Each structure stands twice: as C-alpha cells, then as structure tokens.
C-alpha cells in the first residue's frame, strides 16, 4: 500500500513577499500538496485543499479578492475528490482526513468526504482566529487530539493517530497555534508532511542563513516557535532518514510520486509481499 501526492490547483505570489531573500515581482508558483495514504481500513488523506465547489466557482468562494490575493488557479477537476476518481478510488473510500492546520486552502475540501473522520489538534481549534475553516469546525466526525505522546523524530509532543505507530501527529506550532506535521511510517524511514510549518524546503534547511520572509512575518502566529520547528525538521531529515514534504514547495512537489503505482511503500508492505 502506497503514499502518493497530488496538488489541488496552484497558488502564487511575488518573490519579495513569499521567498526568504526574495526580490522583485517575479511570480513564484506554489503547489497545494496533499498526501494520499492507502490503508487497510480505507484512504487517509493529509489535508484536502479546496472543495469541488470552490474549484468550480472560486469567484463565489473563497471570492474574487481572496482568490486574487492567493494567486489561486484551479479547474473543476483539480478538487481532490475528483482526482481520486481519476486514480481509481471513490471519494467514499476516504475514511480519515488529517488536518495539518485549519487554514481554508488546506481543509475546506473536507465537505467532499462526509464519511471521513477529520483529525485535528485541540490547540488548533481552541485558539479562536478568523482564518479557521468553517468546514473543519462543522465536520460531522471530528476527532480532536491533545499532543501528549512521547517525543518522536526530534519532536517533543506527539499523538499516535491510529494507535499502531503508523501515523503520528507532531507538534509543529508556529505558523498557527496548533499546527501539526504528520509522520507516516515507510518501509525505509518516515515521510513527514509538514503542512505550512515551512513553505519551502530552504525555509528550514537554510534557516540560519536567511531572514524571515514578509509572508512568514505577516501570516505566522509565533515566529520563534516556527523556527524551533525548522530545527526539528532538519533533525528529522538528518537523524531519522525522514522525507519532509511541505505544502507549497512546487519544485519539491514535482519530485514526489503522484500515483499509487509510483508511491512510497508503507512500513511492513514489502515483507507482506515477500510472504505472499
């Protein structure tokens, strides 16, 4: 069973605003990267991106001004629910949605998966903010988790989502109060979907050499906490052979597997195949 990645349309903005050390108005394309994890109990997706309705009518929702500010470019077929159909799945196969955080571009698509349990950290919902997705808070099956588990992968506070060590929520607060990175156990190390804990790989890899971007200063909840998270992501790569995936790094997305046939193998799957 694999984990693979899709982007729900694209976003974008000027280099001087988005990139650390960026200059000028050069347009920077951004992915909106979601992970699809095929599990025995059904699909688990990490973030959803926009909904079907938003991909079809973005000028209605999130609205013309909001879409323009985000540099939002979507087509009806970009919605994750529609993409899953093209990958051989049904949206009803999605049994779990894990939200890295509550911003609308990451979780408004939960409305397309009414059978799914939506997992989020308790802190993310406890601290009121206008940017919290209403779709997230109105999800029919909402599982709210306190990060009280032991340290793992260099992160101090964790939660074992399914109780079997296969998927962990990692405390990545900083961009928002309850941001979580999501670790998935692979046959070779770990995959960590960092959400917006870092926008680009160079944000956390070259943190000490680069000043914060205007985006980080304007959109971040706690810059000091976010930079602590950068150090933990570096340590996860260095010490735990983790493959870190960020939500908006287009170059990083292009290098990921995009289909289940290409996907990274989950822990234990190779051993099952050999026995079979």
Run of H or E including 8: strand 2-14
Beta strands in 104-164 (DSSP E): 117-121, 142-145, 158-160
CB 157 within 8 A of CB 171: yes
Residue 270 binned pLDDT confidence (cut-offs 50, 70, 90): low
Strand partners, 97: 45, 118
Alpha carbons 253 and 257: distance in angstroms, whole number? 8
* Tally of residues, the chain: 276
| pTM, 2 dp | 0.95
DSSP-derived secondary structure letter, 149: B
DSSP-derived secondary structure letter, 59: I
3 state SS of 132: strand
Res. 234: pLDDT tops 80: yes
pLDDT tens digit sequence for 92-131: 999 999 999 999 999 999 999 999 999 999 999 887 676 7
pLDDT tens digit sequence for 149-161: 999 999 999 999 9
Share of the chain above pLDDT 90, in %: 86
3 state SS of 232: helix
pLDDT tens digit sequence for 171-204: 999 999 999 999 999 998 999 999 999 999 999 9
Please give the structure tokens belonging to residue 96: 């779990």
Please give the structure tokens belonging to residue 226: 């976010």
């Amino acid at each position: 069973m694999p984990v693979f990645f899709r982007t729900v349309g694209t976003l974008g903005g000027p280099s001087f605003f988005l990139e650390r050390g960026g200059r000028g108005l050069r347009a920077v394309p951004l992915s909106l990267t979601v992970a699809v994890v095929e599990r025995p109990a059904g699909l688990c997706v990490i973030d959803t991106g926009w909904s079907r309705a938003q991909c079809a009518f973005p000028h209605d929702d999130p609205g013309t001004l909001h879409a323009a500010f985000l540099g939002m470019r979507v087509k009806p077929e970009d919605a994750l629910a529609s993409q899953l159909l093209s990958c051989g799945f049904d949206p009803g196969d999605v049994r779990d949605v894990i939200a890295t955080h509550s911003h609308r571009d990451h979780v408004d698509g939960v409305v397309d998966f009414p059978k799914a349990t939506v997992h989020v950290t308790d802190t993310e919902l406890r601290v009121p903010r206008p940017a919290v997705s209403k779709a997230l808070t109105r999800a029919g099956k909402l599982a709210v988790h306190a990060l009280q588990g032991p340290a793992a992968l260099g992160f101090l506070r964790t939660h074992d989502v399914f109780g079997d060590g296969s998927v962990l929520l990692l405390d990545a607060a900083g961009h928002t109060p309850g941001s979580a990175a999501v670790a998935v156990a692979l046959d070779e190390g770990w995959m960590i979907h960092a959400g917006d804990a870092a926008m680009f790989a160079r944000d956390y890899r070259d943190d000490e050499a680069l000043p914060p971007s205007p985006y980080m200063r304007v959109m971040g909840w706690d810059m000091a906490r976010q930079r602590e998270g950068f150090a933990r992501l570096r340590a996860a790569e260095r010490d735990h052979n983790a493959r870190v995936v960020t939500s908006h790094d287009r170059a990083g997305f292009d290098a990921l597997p995009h289909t289940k046939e290409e996907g990274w193998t989950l822990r234990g799957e190779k051993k099952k195949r050999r026995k079979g």
